Structures are given as C-alpha cells and as structure tokens.
Amino acid sequence: MWNKLARVTTRPIDQLYKDYSDHQFQDIPVTEDDVELYKFVQDVRKNGPVFGNYPAEKLEIFEERIYELRKNNLNNSAR
C-alpha cells in the first residue's frame, strides 16, 4: 500500500529518477512494439537519465507505462 501511495504523491520525473537509480531501467520488459517507450528506455539506458529533454506530459505517460510493465512482469514471475 505504501508503494502505491508514494507513487501517487511523487512527480513522474522524480519517480523516473528513482527507478533509474534503483536498476538503471534494466528490468523494464519493454518491446519494440511500443515504439515510443522502447526508444525512451533505450535512450535512458545508453545516455543516462536526461529527462529534461522530454515534455512533462510524455514523462507522465512513460512513467505510468513503465509502472504497468513492471507490475505485470512481477505478477507473471510469481506464477
């Protein structure tokens, strides 16, 4: 419950920086099917967390999508 509450009160850019510091985006199961997110994740993996190059709206979308991918990946690995 705390993680969900913390995520709600954290700005997307702050959450992305936290996620990057935790695992450098290595555990995000993104595929090339999601072109925009895939390019974003690959760029961050290659160049580091330079999130200021993206509009706040895009960062919010990317953060939500990454959260969903990681959550779904955790649910699948528990089986």
Residue type, 26: Q
Is the pLDDT at 5 greater than 60? The verdict is: no
Report the pLDDT value the prediction gives residue 79, as an integer from 0 to 100: 41
CA 37/CA 78 separation, integer angstroms: 25
Whole-prediction pTM: 0.78
Report the pLDDT value the prediction gives residue 51, as an integer from 0 to 100: 94
Exposed, middle or buried: residue 28 (CB in 10 Å: 0-12, 13-18, 19+)?
Answer: buried
DSSP 8-state secondary structure symbol assigned to residue 50: -
pLDDT per position as a tens digit, 16-72? 999 999 989 988 899 999 999 999 999 999 999 999 989 999 999 999 999 999 888
Task: Judge whether 62 and 37 are in contact, CB under 8 Å.
Answer: yes
